[in-house]
Amino acid sequence: MKKPFKEFRIDWTDNVCSKNQSPSAKKPLREYRIKFEKVPKGKKAVPDPDKLGIRSKLGGEPDWVQSPEIPECSDCKQPMTFIAQIDSMEHDEKHNPHAIDCLSRQQQYMFGDVGMIYVFMCFSCMTTKSVVQCG
């Protein structure tokens, strides 16, 4: 006996303002504490880039989800320095201590399809830029 077909629909407005809500009325995102830990020389902050949800880090080289996109400073036109990457930290996987069921509509830190936000800075001009890439 066939199971009845149940339509699957994704509500893309989960983490954006609805038509009835102004951007200033958006509630703040849930807070997380970040524990900084110096990475020993010869080791990597993200030893396994396939461990989605736990790839956030400061410094080093970006672990690009797609092709490299190092921005140039809008003032001095020089390539900017990589500062940090912020992972879609609520990705639903067993290895992830912050996992949230993707069908629960409770994820707030999911950037596209398990994407990443990369932060860059020009130390000469004190300019910052971010790049978002989706998985």
Reported as a single tens digit per residue, the pLDDT across 14-24 is 444 444 545 55
pLDDT at 12 over 60: no
- Long-range CB contacts (< 8 A, 24+ apart) of 24-29? 29/108, 29/109
Looking at residue 117, what is its pLDDT? Answer: 96
pTM of the predicted structure, to 2 decimals: 0.75
Reported as a single tens digit per residue, the pLDDT across 99-119 is 889 888 899 888 888 999 999
